[in-house]
Structure 1
Amino acid sequence: MSPRSALVSVQNLTRVFDVSKPWLNRVIERLPKRYLTAVSDVSFDIPARTTYALVGESGSGKSTIGKMVVGLLRPSEGHVTIDGVDLATETDPAVIDRIRTDIQMIFQDPFASLNPRWKVRDIITEPVAARGGDVTGLAEKLLTQVGLAPEDAGKYPHQFSGGQRQRLCVARALASEPKLIVCDEPTSALDVSVQAQVLNLMSDLKEEHGLTYLFISHDLTVVRHMADRIGVLYLGRLVEEATPDDLFTKPAHPYTAMLIDAAPKLDAFGREVTPPEGEIPDPIDPPKGCAFHPRCPLAIDRCKAERPKLEPFGAGRVACHRAGEIALESAA
């Protein structure tokens, strides 16, 4: 596999959840089954040694995609292939074990993702010990790499701050020498100054270990400096994909432009930030046509009737009937 070939390929990924009331309630109240489409027909590739970021408001499907990529959820439709292997359909135990070793995940809450009854040494070495590997000195080595002291291996998680705990999670993720790490809002529970430290650490480790990241976040200012490519999600669908420079200087989708306008800016002291207008529609009963049209200031009749397809646009992709007009206005 060449250095820039796709390590991860997500094709037409869909996940539907049954959110119906219990059977007896439905019979008594004469209610139909209800389904929530959390992710709908999402496709993207992540080349090896790069960072792909997924951004969007809460409920847009970011974490659901992350869980399907690592195998915690099975897709309702579509495929996720990692290094050419689809874990949902692969039957060879040796291949499945190899690919699972190549995947790790860093969760949002560093307080909930560490076993409070285990010492740090056991937490970090668990991925290797579970496969019978040699863990002698491993915890001490990884603690040093993430900026902690080797003697911290004998402590418990409650003896660390939030930022230090997230460093422990990074060390645990590195233990099995993975190729892919899925980062599900890894800094959202941390103070801003601590966020910067953890993000810088992750960038350094990416270069040192040749890692590939799927970085999930609602914070555009974070992904701008972390990602090689950004996908914007709205109500379970990918509405735009571009490089950070293109996305922030000439967004092609009005939802992307709205998110950027609402993001904190260093030069915005004293200015009033316009919050995103409206709310995300009910995902159980989404609007017809473009799901964003009830909130879109540029919506036309076509937007209300016809769902736009995600199509190539410049160096990226966009799902918007008026993308060309938006680009011309931005240029002007």
Structure 2
Amino acid sequence: MTGLVSIKGLTRVFDVSKPWLNRMIERLPKRMLTAVSDVSFDIPAKTTYALVGESGSGKSTIGKMVVGLLRPTEGNVEIDGIDLVTETDPAIIDRIRTDIQMIFQDPFASLNPRWRVRDIITEPVSARGGNIDGLAEKLLVQVGLAEEDAGKYPHQFSGGQRQRLCVARALASEPKLIVCDEPTSALDVSVQAQVLNLMSDLKEDHGLTYLFISHDLTVVRHMADTIGVLYLGRLVEEASPTSLFNEPAHPYTAMLIDAAPRLDAFGREVEPPEGEIPDPTDPPSGCAFHPRCPLATDICKAERPKLTPHGAGRVACHHAGQVRLKGAA
């Protein structure tokens, strides 16, 4: 497998200051929010890399930078060896952009309600002058809908069916990479499973590569080849699903796993993750997780841990490997 996506030192900072006049009157400094800080990882072709973490951890910001909706403050994203930020050849930029598609979180908001399904699905191809004869009907069948649905409008479909329409639209331009930003979080649990199974099948049939973004570890457990755990904009652990769920190396990962529902623990009271994510405009010193961490010591408060190899994965923790799951014997 060759590397399709290479992300190096990715950082995104937002200016969340009050307007200039307010700051002058109130004598306030600028407020900068670091949504993503020095994140690096690779996604081999035809694999699924999942990014997980609580709301505000920077998952969606990374996804938007990968597809080019946001410009990185620092670092770079290479798709097939091409960095879209620094590349100047229009033909190369157009080719790489054709290879990238995105499935958004809300299927109700990401489809134009005034367009028929046929126009929604074929837009990525028709915008480049491609042949769209029969394309919508063919893709609708592939995602489990009917050919006659091409003439309908989005409001005539359920939430799960609308997400299937979003998948069909993403497939229209025959992409190599699809960024999935919480594609099932707005759906019922039974419908989530159907959409996830569909995406798994399409990955095999079309040789797709996924960057799968989710706040729920259980959703990505059977989808991902590699899982990256984000906390306050930083990658704190990266491992295969088997390693991550059986032997998490970072206490934050263990906290997420303990809070996730399990089929083998009927009747178990699920404890939510302890504490809250700190203010990203004023993060804690040292390891950002130390105010919530049961293993925190003085070094955690003083020194930020680096992401280093741990087993077959990577972890950023001064006490890596000392974690125990609450359900473990």
TM-score, length-scaled by structure 2: 0.98
Q: Count residues with an aligned counterpart.
A: 329
Within a 5 Å distance, the mapping from 1:1-332 to structure 2 comes to 4-326=1-323
Cα deviation, residue 331, structure 1: 9.7
CA contact (8 A) 1:250 1:330 kept: no
Q: Distance in 2 between matches of 1:199 and 1:296?
A: 33
8 A Cα contact 2:249 2:323, kept in partner: yes
Measure, in 2, the Cα distance between the counterparts of 1:119 and 1:325: 55
Q: 1:330 to 1:81 in 2, by over 3 A?
A: farther
Q: Distance in 1 between matches of 2:323 and 2:2?
A: 32
From the superposition, tell whether residues 200 and 258 of structure 1 become closer, same or farther in structure 2 (CA, over 3 Å).
same
SS in 2 for 1:121: helix
CA contact (8 A) 2:254 2:323 kept: no
Q: Quote how far apart the aligned CAs of 1:136 are.
A: 0.3
Cα distance in 1 between the residues matched to 2:322 and 2:205:
43
The structural deviation recorded for 1:270 is 1.7
Q: Deviations over 1:49-102 (max 9, x none)?
A: 000000000000000000000000000000000000000110000000000000
* TM-score relative to the length of structure 1: 0.97
Preserved CA contact (<8 Å) 1:289 1:305: yes
Aligned letter for 1:130?
A
Q: CA deviation at 1:269?
A: 2.0
Deviation at 1:268, TM superposition (A): 2.0
* Aligned-partner Cα distance in 2 for 1:325–1:19: 38
Distance 2:113 2:78 in 1: 34
Contact 1:228–1:243 (8 Å) recurs in 2: yes
CA distance in 1, matches of 2:46, 2:305: 32
8 Å contact 2:250–2:321 — kept in the other structure? no
Q: Residue 66 of structure 1 contacts residue 216 of structure 1 at CA under 8 Å; is this kept in 2? A: yes
Distance 1:331 1:291 in 2: 26
Runs of 4+ deviating beyond 6 Å: 329-332
Q: Give the Å deviation of 1:330.
A: 11
* CA spacing shift, 1:330–1:308, aligned 2, 3 Å: farther
Uncovered stretches (5+) of structure 2, i.e. residues with no partner: none
Cα deviations by residue, 1:215-271 (Å, 9 ceiling, x for unpaired): 000111110010000000000000000000000000000000000000011122222
Cα distance in 1 for residues equivalent to 2:134 and 2:96: 25
SS at match of 1:326: coil
- Identity, in percent, stands at 87
1:326 CA drift (Å): 3.2
Contact 1:128 1:135 in 2 (8 A): yes
Q: Aligned partners of 1:223 and 1:97: how far apart in 2?
A: 31
